[in-house]
A and B are shown apart, each in its own frame.
Chain A
Amino acid sequence: MINCEQASTICNKKQYKEATLLERINLSLHLFICKACSSFSKKNSKLTVLCNKADLHLLSEQEKVKMKETIERSI
């Protein structure tokens, strides 16, 4: 059996489709008996859905550094 800490790590990995089959089986067994983890898991999946839905676009650090340089040059 896995504990809650392991369960949460697997749950996070699952959000990025990086959990192995064995891990996923262990997780679902754990969620079956643990209320706290199953509510965490639900919220976690919802967060993934929200992040996908928001379709965020963020600039990378390099792009920001470049912008800063351009701004400094024009001051």
Chain B
Amino acid sequence: MDSTRIKMTENKLNPDSWVDQYADYLFNYAVARVSNAEIAKDLVQETFLAGLKSAKNFQGAAAERTWLIAILKRKVIDYYRKINSKKGKAEVRMTYSNQSDSAGDWLEENVADPFSTLENDEIENEELGLAIQECIAKLPKKQSSVFVMKTIQGFSTEDICNELGINPSNLWVMVHRARTSLMGCLNENWFKL
């Protein structure tokens, strides 16, 4: 944690560590916005390449991660411009849901529910995802790969054991350690919800 702080105050770029440090963070950001893992992966890759190309323009005014996110944002916008460039694709279609009552006041019925907190949920989930991700990054390498494979990618115990060359009781010990560390690392507030 301290080392990243120091890096942030210096604001230098070290592209060698970009993938390890930021790929997951950028990927999550992109997936949330384009909702397609393949496209998101490509956008992250493009972001790194664009970052390299314009590395000499980096002023050091922002932290590396912020700077990369700024590039990724442009990439996401460009992506939507590209798919919407054909005429008519960008139009908003509103269909009247109830056929029999098409004389109704559709505008009034389509007004947003002022008591809905659905949009807050999404923001909250993104923050939660970020918090979990930062905690996973702090785990020892082996524990984090076991935890990620098991919990996030949903592999079976058998597959993980074969791939990593461990036995099931090893696996459960590592899962246990990872889960206990995560419980300690995640802010108490998340557990109160």
Task: Report which A residues bind B (CB closer than 8 A).
Answer: 8-9, 12-13, 15-16, 18, 43-44, 46-48, 50-51, 53-61, 63-64, 67-68, 70-71, 74-75
| Size class of the contact patch on chain B | 35 or more
Please state if A70 and B45 are interface contacts (CB–CB under 8 Å): yes
B40-65 CB mask vs A (1 if < 8 Å, else 0) is: 11001100110010000000000000
- Interface SS, A side: helix
Beyond known contacts A58-B153, A59-B24: 17 more, CB 8 A cutoff: A9-B172, A9-B176, A16-B151, A51-B152, A54-B125, A56-B129, A56-B132, A57-B31, A57-B40, A58-B27, A58-B152, A59-B23, A59-B44, A60-B153, A68-B19, A74-B49, A74-B52
Query: Which B residues from 2 to 46 make CB contacts under 8 A with A?
Result: 15, 18-20, 23-24, 27-28, 31, 37, 40-41, 44-45
Q: Which residues of A contact B172 (CB under 8 A)?
A: 9, 12-13
What CA separation (Å) do A60 and B163 show in the bound complex?
A: 13
Please state if A56 and B152 are interface contacts (CB–CB under 8 Å): yes
